[in-house]
């Protein structure tokens, strides 16, 4: 057995772990980074990057399918899944190689293997022990399933969905959250007949209700069926597919069932509880500075309850590295983290929903700018809108506390939306800013002009 000491020992090389490692090394700290699988974690290998590669393929497929409508003589004759997977894997491979180079260039010690916490700030990997002045837990998350439902054969999670060798003719997606609607969107573009089953009353239930309504309308036009308020009862597999039964007694036949009911924290089997790390519902409990119940031990990313987003993990990792280095960074505020769903149409939001804003601020004012008035949106042939939520009643000054957008490429607008919400901007602060024409970004400017009481391309 060998023993090694470092300023930071980080258990998990996903978004939160490697971001912490890179920033800590940049600040002159010695770092041991432990990863049991592949550097980059879920986001790079089984999440953000490969799913968005599939969504890009879906967009190209739709362009080919609808090219004749704008004078391009194109048609979609099929999807070559072998070529699609090769493209996806090449994107992941290039990013993985680049990340490996970054870690090596910062002189971070990368340890491959499953790590277990065996003492105060000590992790054992394959018989070797690594002790840090500080220990950072960053073990990520896993695809959840329904109790009693076995994932096997034609019942799959997002992990298996990323490597299918053919396009299913029919698919049932269990779960109408981010993962579910993104895969539904991909498969519909590939030609699959898709049905989403969601127990709650609307799709993407964590978003503003306006977003759900717009998405469901767009999905109907794309012939994606959404069974909202419908509870899953069971599934049986046959030699040719699956039959999904709902509590209502309705049965849905398909080639496969995708279980997309969210992700759970990967906190079991790593020795957390044995080391005295407090947890609740499987998540590690932390204070606002991401400190756990054990002195010198921090937790970042998906194992901390809240939004399970890669960029939240990055921010957590950077925060912890800077906190340890004594830089006194500002704690993260969950509602100020931007959120994007890359379906067609895209969804992007930051801040409070209208309902949340009413709970926090009492009376609020909202403005919705329809993309029908946006030139670039008409060129892109997209429908959607930008909704602003302002604290305080109409006619009174107040900051914009929520921005909610739906439409093609609106994910690219969330950067400015984040600045508006996080800097507590008023409509009068944003309205004078010049937004280039014709762009999707103009829609944000138009919405703030309307909120400031001086609409331009909208009816007052």
Catalytic machinery residues: 437
Closest by CA position to 304, among listed 275, 257, 265, 342 = 265
330 secondary structure, DSSP code: P
C-alpha–C-alpha distance, residues 328 and 314, integer Å: 17
Separation CA 201–CA 194 (nearest Å): 18
The torsion angles phi and psi of 428, rounded to 5 degrees, stand at -70, -20
Give the Cα-Cα-Cα angle 374, 372, 444 (nearest 5 degrees).
45
How are beta strands 279-280 and 283-284 bridged, if at all? antiparallel
Closest alpha carbon to 14 in 308, 448, 279: 308
What 59-66 contacts at long range (C-beta under 8 Å, 24+ apart), as own/partner pairs, is 59/189, 59/344, 61/189, 61/190, 62/189, 62/344
Residues in the chain: 460
Residue whose C-alpha is closest to residue 21's, from 117, 102, 127, 120: 102
| Cα dihedral across residues 206, 211, 217, 222: positive or negative | negative
**Among candidates 52, 375, 382, which has minimal Cα distance to 215?**
382
**Cα 184 to Cα 158: distance, rounded to the nearest angstrom:** 11
**Residue 349, SS3?**
strand
> Which run of H or of E encompasses 123?
strand 122-125
Among 285, 303, 427, 305, CA closest to 369: 427
Cα–Cα distance for residue pair 294/406, rounded to 1 Å: 43
């Amino acid at each position: 057995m060998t023993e090694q000491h470092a300023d930071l020992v980080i258990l998990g090389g996903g978004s939160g772990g490697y971001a912490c490692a890179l920033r800590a090394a940049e600040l002159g700290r010695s770092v041991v980074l432990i990863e049991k699988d592949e550097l980059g974690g879920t986001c790079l290998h089984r999440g953000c990057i490969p799913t968005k590669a599939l969504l890009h393929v879906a967009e190209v497929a739709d362009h080919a399918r609808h090219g004749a409508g704008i004078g391009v003589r194109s048609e979609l004759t099929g999807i070559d899944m072998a070529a699609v997977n090769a493209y996806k894997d090449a994107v992941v491979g290039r990013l993985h190689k680049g990340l490996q180079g970054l870690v090596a260039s910062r002189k971070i010690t990368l340890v491959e293997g499953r790590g277990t916490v065996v003492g105060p700030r000590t992790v054992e990997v394959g018989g070797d022990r690594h002790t840090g002045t500080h220990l950072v837990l960053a073990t990520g998350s896993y695809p959840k399933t329904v109790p009693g439902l076995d994932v096997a054969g034609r019942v799959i999670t997002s992990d298996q969905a990323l490597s299918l060798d053919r396009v299913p003719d029919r698919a049932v997606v269990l779960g109408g959250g981010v993962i579910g609607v993104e895969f539904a969107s991909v498969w519909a573009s590939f030609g699959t007949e898709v049905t989403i089953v969601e127990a709650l009353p609307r799709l993407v239930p964590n978003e503003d209700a306006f977003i759900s309504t717009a998405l469901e309308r767009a999905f109907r036009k794309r012939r994606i069926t959404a069974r909202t308020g419908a509870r899953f009862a069971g599934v049986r597999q046959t030699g040719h597919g699956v039959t999904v039964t709902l509590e209502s007694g309705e049965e849905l036949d398909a080639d496969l069932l995708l279980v997309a009911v969210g992700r759970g924290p990967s906190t079991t089997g790593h020795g957390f509880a044995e080391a005295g790390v407090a947890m609740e519902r499987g998540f590690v409990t932390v204070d606002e500075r991401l400190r756990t119940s054990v002195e010198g031990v921090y937790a970042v990313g998906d194992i901390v309850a809240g939004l399970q987003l890669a960029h939240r993990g990055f921010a957590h990792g950077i925060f912890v590295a800077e906190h340890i280095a004594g830089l006194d960074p500002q704690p993260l505020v969950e509602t100020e983290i931007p959120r994007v769903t890359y379906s067609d149409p895209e969804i992007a939001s930051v801040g409070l929903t209208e309902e949340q804003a009413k709970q926090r601020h009492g009376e609020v004012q909202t403005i919705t700018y329809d993309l029908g008035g946006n030139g670039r949106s008409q060129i892109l042939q997209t429908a959607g809108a930008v909704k602003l939520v302002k604290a305080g009643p109409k006619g009174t000054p107040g900051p914009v506390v929520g921005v909610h957008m739906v439409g093609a490429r609106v994910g690219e607008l969330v950067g400015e939306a984040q600045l508006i919400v996080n800097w507590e901007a008023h409509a009068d602060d944003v309205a004078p800013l010049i937004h280039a024409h014709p762009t999707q970004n103009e829609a944000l400017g138009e919405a703030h002009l309307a909120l400031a009481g001086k609409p331009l391309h909208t009816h007052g």
